[in-house]
A and B are shown apart, each in its own frame.
Chain A
């Protein structure tokens, strides 16, 4: 009960910040809309010039939406730390009874909210402009979203660990990490497109399995549960590794007194 109360207190801390910050709300909502407009027009153009796109209308938009789930989930976690660094607030929260895992749980909870609130308007825009509904993916959509949320969490935890270890100089990782991984995530093209030496690297990422699964549903009209299971198992491994890396970085920050110094 105490843990839940502390997690809730931190969720409220981020909610208070978000609800009163118009720039943060605009940032959260506007980018997915910009993305959907751009990818929607591109999809319309390619539908008339590509048999692949014509066969599976919306495959690019679905890829964009699902990749945004991962990136926003990752940002929800890593920007949570940065908010504390910018506010010079780490020193207070970590001398309170809040445990590090409870803080991560609060960041994960907020990342779900930020992802949902950020993508909902863009989903409506896609329906209105392009008659595309992400929900046409059916039940597998829940599995795809869950796997990408979790991938965003472990990637966000790794970014948080890097910032704790190397300080604010590493904060650009929060925005760069999804871009760095996107070529390997097989978001817009099948893994078979990649050169043979790169395929195992791509298949080591949960995202590649999710997007193979998504194309299975949209292009071949077949749901491949194996892809979802592979993605979930990989997520478990990465989440465990990221947690250990975080604990190492957190201890390092406590060794070096970074809780007091960061943000100064």
Chain B
């Protein structure tokens, strides 16, 4: 009997998911998905609202216990031993906030402590410089604009120099100039540190510019996979957004297996 393709994990696999399912009562949020993510890659998780992207990310983080299936992140079984992997990961999402009544510097110093970051002041200063919020360090996080909060939240996600970064809508609320700077920073960070990123986004330009590989989700399943250019060619479209719409509006059929 041959092994299932997804059970063959190459040495540079950072995320390996098999048979992952999440059910909330009668609702099936994630339906038996399987995929791997290679070290150093930037992978996009695309899908419409309710496709299961955030649920998948929450399970990868160990914040949500799956109904069935296996998740290995950085070689660690996330259901049983997530605390072994968590120091090497981080996460940002516009849907999870930082405390509003703490200053930006206080918020980041708390997370520097939680992740055991050496020379926390220096690290916070580096991030503030790189993400352009030096002037905001002493301001209350709650008094920042949505775009400024996004940058600080990203700094929190980078505070421990993670090997794996999970980002939900990383440039939400940013103007095009700031969004472009952030994307370039993330690209540079991935290239220089060898970090792996998994990004859930609705922003097709962002995904095309940042990601090497895309996982397309619909109704809790991964229905396609490939590089942005490859997907565009395969669907005979000019833009990724058109591919997204083709997938999102397709009649429900037996879903295709993810193509690694």
Contact with A along B112-126 (1 / 0, CB 8 A): 111110000000000
- Contact across chains for A97 and B115 when beta carbons are under 8 A apart: yes
Q: Is the CB of A97 within 8 A of B97?
A: no
Most buried by A among B62, B87, B95, B110: B110
Cβ B97 vs Cβ A93 within 8 A: no
B91→A6 contact, CB < 8 A: no
Q: How far is the CA of A122 from the CA of B189 in the complex (A)?
A: 54
Within the assembled complex, what's the spacing in Å between the Cα atoms of A98 and B93?
Answer: 19
- Interface SS of chain B: helix, strand, loop or mixed? mixed
Q: Which of B's residues lie within 8 Å of A, judged by CB?
A: 24, 54-55, 58, 61-65, 83, 86-87, 89-91, 93, 95-103, 106, 109-116, 156
Do B93 and A91 touch (CB < 8 A)?
yes
Give CA–CA (A158, B99) in the complex, Å: 24
Taking A21-B101, A87-B100 as contacts, is the C-beta distance between A16 and B87 under 8 angstroms?
A: no
Quote the shortest CB–CB distance from A263 to chain B (angstroms).
Answer: 8
Query: Do the beta carbons of B115 and A96 come within 8 Å of each other?
Result: yes
Query: Which residues does chain A contribute within 8 Å of B95, judged by CB atoms?
Result: 88, 91, 260, 264
Report whether over half of chain A's contact residues are helix, strand or loop; otherwise say mixed: helix
A81–B90 Cα gap in the complex (Å)?
A: 22
Pair B24/A256 contact, Cβ less than 8 Å? yes
List residues of A whose CB falls within 8 A of some B CB.
2, 5-6, 8-10, 12-13, 16-17, 20-21, 83, 87-99, 251, 254-257, 259-260, 263-264
A9 to B114, CA, bound (A): 6
Considering the chains assembled together, what is the distance between the CA atoms of A95 and B24 in angstroms? 21
Question: A5 to B113, alpha carbons, bound, how many Å?
Answer: 6
The reply to whether A255 and B65 form a contact with Cβ atoms under 8 Å apart is: yes
CA distance A5 to B58 in the complex (A): 25
Whether B63 contacts A254 by the Cβ 8 Å rule is yes
What is the minimal beta-carbon distance from B71 to any residue of chain A, in angstroms?
13
Shortest CB-to-CB span from A172 to chain B, Å, is: 22
* A255 CB contacts on chain B under 8 angstroms: 64-65
| Residues of chain B with a CB closer than 8 A to A91's CB | 63, 91, 93, 95-96
Interface contact B97-A87, CB-CB below 8 Å: yes
Beyond A90-B96, A92-B97, A259-B64, 6 extra complex contacts between A and B, CB < 8 Å: A5-B113, A10-B110, A16-B103, A16-B110, A92-B91, A257-B58
Closest approach, in angstroms, between the C-beta of B67 and any C-beta of chain A?
Answer: 9
**Does the CB pair A93–B114 fall under 8 Å?**
yes
Q: Which residues of A lie under 8 Å from residue B96 when comparing CB positions?
A: 88-92, 260
Inter-chain contact B97/A12, CB cutoff 8 Å:
no
B82 closest partner in A (C-beta)? A95
Residues of B within 8 Å of A6, CB to CB, are: 113-114, 116
A151–B177 alpha-carbon span in the complex (Å): 55
How long is the Cα–Cα vector from A259 to B93 in the complex, in angstroms?
13
| Bound-complex Cα distance A16 to B98 (A) | 13
Q: Complex: how many Å from CA A87 to CA B114? A: 18
Nearest opposing residue in chain A for B111, CB measure:
A96
CA of A264 to CA of B114, assembled, Å: 24
Given known contacts A92-B156, A260-B54, A260-B63, is B113 in contact with A97 (CB within 8 Å)?
no
- Interface centre among A21, A254, A263, by most B CB within 10 Å? A254
Q: A257 to B64, alpha carbons, bound, how many Å?
A: 5
A254-B64 in contact given A16-B102, A16-B106, A87-B99 (Cβ < 8 Å): yes
Instruction: Assess whether B113 is in contact with A9, with CB atoms less than 8 Å apart.
Output: yes
Contact call A95/B86, Cβ cutoff below 8 A: yes
Given A12-B109, A91-B96, A2-B102 contact (CB < 8 Å): no
Determine which of B24, B102, B114 lies in contact with A97 in the assembled complex, contact meaning CB atoms within 8 Å: B114
CA distance A82 to B58 in the complex (A): 21
Q: Do A254 and B65 contact each other (CB < 8 Å), given the known contacts A17-B99, A92-B98?
A: yes
Query: In the bound complex, how far is the Cα of B98 from the Cα of A92, in angstroms?
Result: 8
Measured CA separation A20–B105 after assembly (Å)? 14
| Chain A residues in 8 Å Cβ range of B87 | 97
Which A-B residue pairs are the 6 nearest by beta carbons? A9-B113, A91-B96, A88-B97, A96-B114, A87-B99, A16-B106
CB distance from A255 to the nearest CB of B (A): 5
In the assembled complex, how far is the CB of residue B82 from the closest CB belonging to chain A, in whole angstroms?
9
Kindly state the separation between the CA atoms of A13 and B106 in the bound complex, as whole angstroms: 8
Chain A positions within 8 Å of B99 at CB level: 13, 17, 83, 87, 89
A254 CB contacts on chain B under 8 angstroms:
62-65
Q: How far is the CB of A139 from chain B (nearest CB, A)?
A: 37
Which residues on B sit within 8 Å (CB–CB) of A257?
Answer: 24, 55, 58, 63-64
A residues within 8 A CB of B101? 17, 20-21, 87
